[in-house]
Amino acid sequence: MFVEQMFDIEGLKKQKNAVILSHNYQILPIQTIADSVGDSLELSMAARDVEADIIVFCGVDFMAETAAILNPNKKVLVPSTEARCPMAAQLNADMVRKAKEKYNAPFVAYVNTHASVKAVADVCCTSANVARVVENIDSETVLLGPDANLAWYAAEKTGKEVIPVPEYGNCCVHQSFTVKDVERARIEHPEAEIIVHPECRPEVQRFADFVGSTSQMIRYVAESGKNGIIIGTEIGLIERLVDEHPGKEIFPLRTSVCSAMKKNTLDGVVKVLREENNVVRVDEKIAVRARKAIERMFELC
Ligand code: 13P
Ligand code: SF4
């Protein structure tokens, strides 16, 4: 079945001059057939540099929107329109406008936001470059949303005042990790290192040996001399790392699944390539302004 679907996908890709981009949390078969797999930053760069006519984006809504914003003349398709990031839904353009008025400070929109939010932000960031963006922005006070844990991480890294908007925005997948999980993991695997995503709670980040984006964690595991590594992020990435490093002992901090990321299937990829439906559309006026915030991110880094 998998071989048959792969064969269909390869044929359709050639016929339609299409490429497939996949986030690190996608199911393994999708990561396997993708032309490019990465974290949000790498996928934004891949989307910017793509030369195909069609991009099939396997991730969640805000990622596909970013690809569409950067490629107004290409068709961006998603295998499932139900793959929507619940954290991105926690911030809207009005909240950004009000916060900017209240604090008179620049707004850094986490890339996990809708186009309408990016359009009113000063700059975007991802989990991989948030510290550099905040460091390089010309203000000692910065607003950042919707992830309050990422805002805390950026403040720790830069020493700047980073005000989260909304106050308690978070990703349920990473917010679910607690200090108790860390304590239990330390007892069960005393020799192992702990690495976590910056969307985790501050108290979990504080206990970790390394904090980074999904791709930064992939590189950390590949380069670490330690045999045992405990990882605090979405389970799909951990399963992939277990596969890729049979000689290492890799454990999840606890099993946590992003159901939005799992809406995409191989069947969905075949179907969307055949039918060219599920086209991602962004209002042109919003796209122009959102593109500026994304490009400013590339400039600042
Ligand atoms: P990365 O940019 O680190 O891949 O994170 C995206 C994401 O949605 C994490 O929950
Ligand atoms: Fe959104 Fe969290 Fe899923 Fe990432 S893991 S897509 S932030 S819900």
Pick the CATH number of 2-84+261-282 from 2.70.98.20, 3.30.465.10, 3.90.1200.10, 3.40.50.10800: 3.40.50.10800
Looking at residue 93, its pLDDT comes to 98
Q: Alpha carbon 56 to chain centroid distance?
A: 16
The answer to whether the CB of 90 is under 6 A from ligand 1 is no
**Per-residue pLDDT reduced to its tens digit, 195-206:** 999 999 999 999
Looking at residue 1, its pLDDT comes to 63
Looking at residue 45, its pLDDT comes to 92
- How far is 31 from 24, CA to CA, in rounded Å? 7
Q: How far is CA 171 from CA 42, 75, 142, in A?
A: 20, 29, 21
Looking at residue 177, its pLDDT comes to 98
Considering only CA atoms, which of 24, 22, 48 is closest in space to residue 297? Answer: 48
How far does residue 134's CA lie from ligand 2's centre (Å)? Answer: 22
The answer to whether the CB of 39 is under 6 A from ligand 1 is yes
Considering only CA atoms, which of 129, 162, 165 is closest in space to residue 146? Answer: 165
Considering only CA atoms, which of 60, 102, 83, 77 is closest in space to residue 13? Answer: 77
Looking at residue 7, its pLDDT comes to 84
Ranges in the chain, pLDDT < 50: none
Contact 48, 259 (CB under 8 A): no
How far does residue 238's CA lie from ligand 1's centre (Å)? Answer: 13
% helix / strand / coil in the chain, to the nearest 5?
50, 15, 35
- Of all atoms in ligand 2, which is nearest to the CA of residue 85? 1
Looking at residue 288, its pLDDT comes to 98
| Common-topology check for domains 88-170+287-300 and 177-252 | yes
Superfamily designation of domain 177-252: NadA-like (3.40.50.10800)
> Where along the chain do its domains lie?
2-84+261-282, 88-170+287-300, 177-252
How far does residue 142's CA lie from ligand 2's centre (Å)? Answer: 23
- How far is 25 from 234, CA to CA, in rounded Å? 7
Instruction: Please state whether the predicted TM-score (pTM) of the whole model is above 0.75.
Output: yes
Q: Which of 133, 197, 219, 261 to mutate to test the pocket of ligand 1 (most atoms within 8 A of CB)?
A: 197
Looking at residue 111, its pLDDT comes to 98
The answer to whether the CB of 175 is under 6 A from ligand 1 is no
88-170+287-300 CATH fold:
Rossmann fold (3.40.50)
Question: N- to C-terminal Cα distance for the chain?
Answer: 43
The C-alpha angle with vertex 57 and arms to 70 and 255, in degrees rounded to 5, equals 125
* Residue 258: CA count within 13 A, CB half-sphere: 28
